[in-house]
Chains A and B, each alone.
Chain A
């Protein structure tokens, strides 16, 4: 099951050239680029591992691309996303975030039903991948 988190996730995978164009756009808006990775694709997992510090004061996308490619080289089989952070007062938040790398095979999620009082059902999802320990998923 293809994970659809962040911008462009319903489009075919972005090529490096397209990623670069998005990064350049973000920089032209004055946003800071950061690279993050994870092997836990749960939609409520907001805190991915940081690949280095967010890159403030970049003028050109080449530097950010260098980090994206380095991260992809180190973690070729897990999820990597690129965030663009807007520090403008009033925003102070991520303005753009998209996935730039994903595992070849995404096993998807199991739907768990828990019966509670009054025969109510609570639903929860659990990633099949996340059932194995961290670092050994998607290997």
Chain B
């Protein structure tokens, strides 16, 4: 009797899926994040791969643990950190990250200030991230070609070693702007070859940004009046053309400034009583006072 020969052996994928509850996270990803079609598709693919891998393992087919390190490239404010957080949950549900927490770091957290300071610092962060996901934002700052004595290289080497030897313990996600990440990978082929999944985050369209704005406001328990909606619709394309446009982050900042103006307007009215509606509504004038319209 050879178990491997039994090609008709069954595995209940539905049960595995239900048990992992990964569908919940994926559905949340689908509904809570607007746009990002290619990213969502890719996350779904990775989730299916891992699920199938688990099904295979339950039948004794071991393909070795898949490499899960990822790179997220995209312009600022396209949701890289948010997706990384979700990714950690997906991996946790599927049993590939034991704790499923996200440790978000930048160059400063990894690279030391003097000789011999970098290795312990990087190792410290790696130890904290074990069992979860290490998210390195703006990873290209680790590599500074103009200074050959830069300690960033040391951090990269330790990172590479752990990425290779402790694949089961840690998933590394490097993130940053697309063009600079490309140069970063080109000068660090070792890193790029250890990263299996490259996810590109597209910019949002004006319609998507409007939906995002509405959702952010709803989360902060505000709403737009009719004039507010009209103003937002005009505001977004104008803001998109301005320099330093950072997608959803710019929208969030714009909304924060609108809140400020709304508060100022309400305060300026000096009426003793404010209705709930007044406190919740952002009017067109709150948005129109923005620099973008001038």
Taking beta carbons and an 8 Å cutoff, which residues of A are in contact with B? 52-53, 55, 57-64, 66-67
Q: In the complex, which residues of chain A have a beta carbon less than 8 angstroms from the beta carbon of B166?
A: 62, 66
Q: In the complex, which residues of chain A have a beta carbon less than 8 angstroms from the beta carbon of B130?
A: 58-63, 66
- 14 extra interchain contacts, Cβ-Cβ under 8 A, other than A63-B130, A67-B127? A53-B124, A58-B127, A58-B128, A58-B130, A59-B130, A59-B131, A60-B98, A60-B131, A60-B169, A61-B130, A61-B131, A62-B131, A62-B169, A63-B128
Taking beta carbons and an 8 Å cutoff, which residues of B are in contact with A? 98-99, 101, 120, 123-124, 126-128, 130-132, 166, 169-170
| A-B residue pairs in contact (CB < 8 Å), sample of 19 | A53-B120, A55-B127, A58-B128, A58-B130, A59-B128, A59-B132, A60-B98, A60-B131, A60-B169, A61-B130, A62-B166, A62-B169, A62-B170, A63-B128, A63-B169, A64-B127, A66-B123, A66-B127, A66-B130
Contact A63 B126 (CB under 8 A): yes
Distance in Å: Cβ of B119 to nearest Cβ of chain A: 11
Q: In the complex, which residues of chain A have a beta carbon less than 8 angstroms from the beta carbon of B131?
A: 59-62
Q: In the complex, which residues of chain A have a beta carbon less than 8 angstroms from the beta carbon of B124?
A: 53, 55
Distance in Å: Cβ of A91 to nearest Cβ of chain B: 22
Docked complex Cα distance between A64 and B131 (Å): 12
Q: In the complex, which residues of chain A have a beta carbon less than 8 angstroms from the beta carbon of B170?
A: 62
List 3 tightest A-B contacts by C-beta distance, closest first. A60-B131, A63-B127, A62-B169
Closest to A55 in B: B127
Q: In the complex, which residues of chain B have a beta carbon less than 8 angstroms from the beta carbon of A63?
A: 126-128, 130, 169
Q: In the complex, which residues of chain B have a beta carbon less than 8 angstroms from the beta carbon of A55?
A: 124, 127
Distance in Å: Cβ of B121 to nearest Cβ of chain A: 11
Contact A52 B101 (CB under 8 A): no
